[in-house]
Structure 1
Amino acid sequence: MSGAECESDMDCSGSDCGDAGYEDYYSTQPWDGEIDNDINFDKQKQDPEYAVYECLRVDEVERLLNENVEFLTTNLQITPSLAKLFLHAHEWDLQDILLKYQDNTSNIMIDSKIILSHSVDPLFNMKFLKGNLCSVCFLTFPTERFSTLNCGHSFCNDCWCAYFETQILQGVSTGIRCMANSCSILAPEDFVLSLLIKPIMRERYQQFVFRDYVKSHPQLRFCPGPNCQIVIRSKELRSKRVICSICKTVFCFRCGMDYHAPTDCDTIKKWLTKCADDSETANYISAHTKDCPKCHICIEKNGGCNHMQCYNCKHDFCWMCLGDWKTHGSEYYECSRYKENPNIAHESVHAQAREALKKYLHYYERWENHSKSLKLEEQTLEEIKLRIQKKVMNASGTWIDWQHLFEAASLLARCRYTLQYTYPYAYYMEAGPRKELFEYQQAQLEAEIENLSWKIERAETTDRGDLENQMDIAEKRRITLLKDFLEV
C-alpha cells in the first residue's frame, strides 16, 4: 500500500505524507497551504501529533534566505555579506536585528563578531607592513597583495587562501575567523570568496555555508534521509512528526531524530545513549525464546502479538510476564508497570546497582519487544496481502472488500510505535500520581493493541465489524494518552 505522494513545493501537514516504513502508518493527503483556519484548528484539536510544515527544495530555501538578506541589505544599507553575518548570529530574527541595530549599531556588530570591542595593537601590522612583509609566511609582497579584515589584521592573499582552504577541508565555513592569534572576528562570505582561487573550493565553501545557514534557522531542518536534499520548514520549533515528501523519512522536527512521541527530545537522547551503553547486557539477559509456563516446552516468538498460544499444550499466556492470558486483562497494569522496591534507599550500593539494572531491563525488554513486534507484523502484513491476492484471484471478494485488513495493519503499526516510545518516558518519570495515571493508560493501550494484533493475525476468521470496533478502541486509547502526556 502506498500513500499519495506530495509534491515538494506543497505544504504538508504531519499526517499528510508517508515514508517507506510509515506510509501505511499514516494517511496521506497533500495540503496546498490554503486550508481554512477553522478546519486547521479542528484538526489540531483532534490530533495531538498534527503539525503544519513545508517540504522545500534547495532552490526554494535559497530564495527564502536571500529574501531575508535583501530585506536587511535594503533597510540597513549594508552589504549582503554583513547581512548574512547578522542573520546567522541572531537566528534569522529580522525584527530583533533591526531593533538592536537601531538601538546600538556598535554593540550588534560586536556581538555578531564583525568588529572588535577594542582597538587592534598598532604594532601588530606596523612591524611587518613597513617592508610589505607577511607575518605568516615572512615573504615580501606588494601592498595590493595584502588583504585586511575589519579587525585591522592584514596578511598576504596567498596565506589567506591557504588558511581558508584548510578551514573548508575541516568543514568550517561561517565560523572561519581571522588568522591573528586570539582574534574572534569572522571572515565575511565575500571576503572568503574573493581570495579562494580553486573553483572546487569555492563550490564546497558555498555548500557548507548554505548548510550552516539552514542549521542556524529555527524554522528550517534538513531531512535526515540518506542523500536527501529536502529541507523541512515549520514556523514552530516543536517536537512534532514530519515526513519528507521525497524520501518518506519520518522524524521529529525539533531534534531531527526518529519520531518519539510521547517521549520528549532530551529524554529520548538519554535513553538511546543508555541503550547503546547497556544493550549488550540487556541482550545477554533477555533471550529470544521462553519456556511455556504450563508444559515448559521451549517457544520462539514468530509474530508481533504478545498473546501467545503454546503449540504443544495450547496454553494461552503473555509473552512478557508469562501470566495466564485468561486473567491477564485485569492484571495487564501490573505487567507493564515496574514495581519499585520501597526499601532500596536503605540497601547496599551493590543492591542499589542491581535494582537499577533490574529497572532498566524491565523497560528495555518491553521497548525492544515492541520494536521486534513491529518488524514481525510487517511480515504478517505481507502474508495477508498474499492471502488476499489468492482470494481475489479465486473470485472470493475484491480488493476493496479486504481493504479493512490493510487499514487495521496500518493502525496497529501506528499504535505499537507510540507504545514503544512510552517506555523511555515511563523509565525517567518520577514516581507519583501522574506516573500512575500514565502507566494505567499505557497498560490500557497495550491491552487493546494486543487484542488488535491477535485479531489481525487471525484475520480470515475475524468478523469485520469486530475488527473495526477494536481498531477504533485502540486508536482512541493512543490519542488519549498523547493528549494527556505529549509535551511539545
Structure 2
Amino acid sequence: MSINDNDSDVEYSETEECGYDDYYNPCDDADSESMNQKKCDPEHFEFECLTVDQVDRLLNELVETLSSRLRLTPSLSKLLLHAHNWALDSVIKMYLEDSSQLLVQSKLKPDKIPVVKTLSKTLVCPICIIMLPKDVFCGIGCSHLFCKGCWNAYLETQVMHGVSTATECMGCSVMATEDFVLPLLATPQLKERYVRHAFSDYVRSHPELRFCPGPNCNIIIRAKENKGKRIVCSSCKTTFCFRCGSEYHAPTDCETIRHWLTKCADDSETANYISAHTKVCPKCQICIEKNGGCNHMQCYGCKHDFCWMCLGDWKTHGSEYYRCSRYEENPNVANESSHARAKEALKKYLHYFERWENHAKSLRLEEQTLQRIRERIQCKVMTGTDGTWIDWQCLLDAAALLARCRYTLQYTYPYAYYMDAGPRKELFEYQQAQLEAEIENLSWKVERAETTDRGDLGIQMDVCEKRRTTLLQDFLES
C-alpha cells in the first residue's frame, strides 16, 4: 500500500483503532460534523443507555405521580400503569372519567363483590379443605378467601415459574399487588426473585424501554420512538433493532425479517447443497475454494477473473452486475402446473438465499482478512520502516466500512425477495446491484492493501458509503 505521508506526530495505540466489530459503532470524534451527519444519516436514532437504578427511578417517578394525583397505593398504581403501557396522562384521564370501570377492565377489581356475612370464627379453606381460624384467611379484594398456607404455596410456585405482575387470585382473574404478595413469600430469596421478575415485566410493557440482548448485559435502552432502528449498547457494544430486539436488519423491516428467518430455518435442509465453499473455474475447471470476502475471484491456475456468484467473466461483469443480483422471474409461471410453480418458487428462494448466505460468509472471511492486515501493520510499525499506526488508519477504516456495507447488503436480499414486482423493485435492485459492485471493488482493494494507493482507497470508500446511504434513504422504514 502506498503510504508515505508522515504528517502527524501523534502516537496512535492499537487499542484506539476502529475494529471489525465496530462496523455499526465507528470511532467518533467529539464534535465532528455531528449535527449535519445526523440529518443525512438514515440510520440515525436518538436513544440513551440506562442502568437498572436509573430505570427504577424513572418508573418510580411515574408511580409516585399517579399515586399522589389519584390517591392510590403505589403498588396499585404500578399495576395500573403496567396494564396501560405506562401512559400516565391516559390513565389519569380514564380514572377521572370512571374509576370503577378502569379498575375492573385492568383486572384490579372484581366486577361484582358479593357480600359475605358469617358469625363463625372459623372457615374452611377451599384449597386444602381444612377448617382454620378466620384470622389466617386473606384475599386480594374479591370474595375469595384462602388460608395463608395455601397462598404461600401458590405464590411460591408462581414466582419460581417467573410469574409476578400476572399473578391472579386463585378463585378469579383479579391481579395481586406486590403489597399483597411480598408479605406472603416465605424467604428473602423469593421476595427478591419476585421483585426482579416484576421489574422485567414493567420494562417490557413500557414502549420506550428495551433490555439490551447482549450476554450478561444489564443495560436498558430508552428511546422516544418505537422504530426498527439501530441501537448500539454503550456497555457490551451489541448492535440490535430497537423495535424487535433481534439483530439489526436494515433495510428489511421487522416483520419481513421474521418471515425470512423462519423460512430459512424451515428450508435449511433444502438449501444445504449451496453451502459448499468450493466452485469450479468456468475456464479451466479447476476446483477453487473461497478464502476471502471478495466475490471477484481469480483462478490460481489460469488467472481467469470471474464472479463467485454467477461465474460470469469479471471483465464484462461491471455492466452486467444488475443481472447477477437480480432474480429474473418466469413471466409464464402462473400458467404452469403446480409442480412447475413450486419449482420456480424454490428457484427464486435459492437465488436470494445463496446471496444472503454468501455475504454472511464473506463477513466472517473479511474478519480474518482484517486480522491479517493488523498483523502486517503491527510488523511494519514495530520495525519503524513504514509509518506509524496513524498512517495506516485509513486501511483499518476501509475494512470497518467494508463490513458495514456488506452487512447492509446482506439484509437487502430478504427485502428484495418479498418485494412485489414493479418500478419500485426495479429501482431497489438497481441500487442493490450498484452497491454490490462497489463493495466488491473495495473488498478487492482491501485484500490487496500492499499495492493499493491510499487516495484510490479513500475514493472507493466514499463511493461505497454513498451507495449504501442512498439505498437506505430511499428504502429504509422511517
Common fold: TM-score over 0.5: yes
Report whether the alignment pairs 1:232 with 2:221.
yes
Of 424, 430, 455, the residue aligned with 2:445 is: 455
Q: Which residues of 2 match residues 337-356 of structure 1 at below 5 A? A: 337-356=326-345
8 A contact 2:24–2:239 mirrored in 1: no
The aligned runs of 1:379-458 (5 Å cut-off) are 379-394=368-383, 395-458=385-448
**What is the alpha-carbon distance in structure 1 between the residues aligned to residue 75 and residue 132 of structure 2?**
27
1:97 maps to 2:97: no
Q: For residues 99 and 29 of structure 2, what CA distance do their matches in structure 1 show?
A: 45
Corresponding residue number in structure 2 for 1:59 = 53
Instruction: Tell me by how many angstroms 1:119 deviates.
Output: 3.8
Q: Distance in 1 between matches of 2:420 and 2:283?
A: 37
AA paired with 1:49?
E
Match of 2:173 among 181, 184, 208: 184
Which has the larger displacement, 195-204 or 319-328? Answer: 195-204
For residues 196-235 of structure 1, the aligned pairs below 5 Å read 196-235=185-224
What is aligned with 1:12? none
1:42-441, aligned counterparts within 5 Å? 42-120=36-114, 131-180=122-171, 183-394=172-383, 395-441=385-431
SS in structure 2 of the partner of residue 221 of structure 1: strand
Comparing 416-425 with 110-119, greater Cα deviation is found at 110-119
Instruction: Give the structure 2 partner of residue 8 of structure 1.
Output: none
Task: Determine the structure 1 residue equivalent to 2:3.
Answer: none
1:27 aligns to what?
Answer: 26
User: Normalized against structure 1, the TM-score is what?
Assistant: 0.91
- 3-state secondary structure, aligned to 1:281: coil
Aligned residue number for residue 469 of structure 2:
479
CA contact (8 A) 2:297 2:308 kept: yes
**Helix, strand or coil at the partner of 1:279:** coil
Once residues 48 and 16 of structure 2 are traced to their aligned partners in structure 1, the CA distance between those partners, rounded to angstroms, is: 18
Change (3 A) 1:261 1:2: farther
Cα distance in 1 between the residues matched to 2:119 and 2:353: 65
C-alpha distance after superposition, 1:312-340 (max 9, x if no partner): 00000000000000000010000000111
Distance in 2 (CA, whole Å) between partners of 1:107 and 1:235 is 30
Q: Quick check: 195-204 or 299-308, which moved more?
A: 195-204
Deviation at 1:402, TM superposition (A): 1.1
Q: Which amino acid aligns with 1:149?
A: I
Q: Any idea what SS the aligned residue of 1:141 has?
A: strand
- 1:470 partnered with 2:447: no
Shift of 1:58: 0.9
C-alpha distance after superposition, 1:305-363 (max 9, x if no partner): 00000000000000000000000001000000011111111111111111111111111
State the distance in 1 between where 2:464 and 2:302 align.
30
Q: 1:292 to 1:246 in 2, by over 3 A?
A: same
Shift of 1:459: 0.7
Instruction: Output the amino acid matched with 1:281.
Output: T
| SS of structure 1 residue aligned to 2:461 | helix
**Could you say what secondary structure the match of 1:397 adopts?**
coil
2:9 corresponds in structure 1 to none
Counterparts of 2:16 and 2:163 in 1: how far apart (Å)? 40
* 1:434 Cα deviation after fit: 0.5
* TM-score of the pair, normalised by structure 2: 0.93
Q: How far 1:130 moved relative to its partner?
A: 7.2
1:434-488 Cα shifts (integer Å, max 9, x gaps): 1110000000000000000000001110111100000000000000000000003
Structure 1 contact 22–250 (Cα < 8 Å) conserved? no
Equivalent residue pairs, number:
464
Distance of 1:195 and 1:129 partners within structure 2: 24
> Any unmatched runs of 5+ in structure 1?
5-17
Structure having greater relative contact order (Cα 8 Å, sep ≥ 6): 2
Aligned-partner Cα distance in 1 for 2:15–2:232: 14
Which range moved further: 386-395 or 265-274? Answer: 386-395
What amino acid is aligned across from residue 57 of structure 2 in structure 1? R
Q: Which amino acid aligns with 2:405?
A: C
Q: Structure 1 residues 356, 144: CA separation in 2 closer, same or farther (over 3 Å shift)?
A: same
CA distance in 1, matches of 2:191, 2:184: 9
Deviations 1:390-425 (A, max 9, x none): 222232111111111001001000000000000010
Q: Which amino acid aligns with 1:101?
A: Y
Distance across 2 between alignment mates of 1:81 and 1:25: 41
**1:11 counterpart residue number:** none
Which piece of structure 1 moves more, 228-237 or 389-398? 389-398
Q: Secondary structure of the residue that 2:457 maps to in structure 1?
A: helix
Report deviation, 1:102: 1.0
1-structure distance, mates of 2:145, 2:324: 70
One-letter identity of the residue aligned with 2:124: L
Deviations, residues 219-271 of structure 1 (Å, cap 9, x unaligned):
11001111111111111111111111111111001100000000000111111
* Conservation of the 8 A alpha-carbon contact between 1:3 and 1:27: no
DSSP-derived class of the 1:132 partner: strand
Equivalents in 2 of 1:310, 1:256: separation in Å? 42
**1:46-97 deviations in whole A, cap 9, x for unaligned?**
1111111111111111111111111111111100011001110110011111
Amino acid at match of 2:222: R
The alpha-carbon distance between structure 1 residues 21 and 115, as it changes in their structure 2 partners (threshold 3 A), is farther
Q: Cα deviation per residue 1:118-173 (whole Å; 9 max; x = unaligned)?
A: 344x5xx6799774111111112222211111222111111111111111111111
Question: By how many angstroms is 1:280 displaced?
Answer: 2.0
Give the superposition deviation at 1:284: 2.0
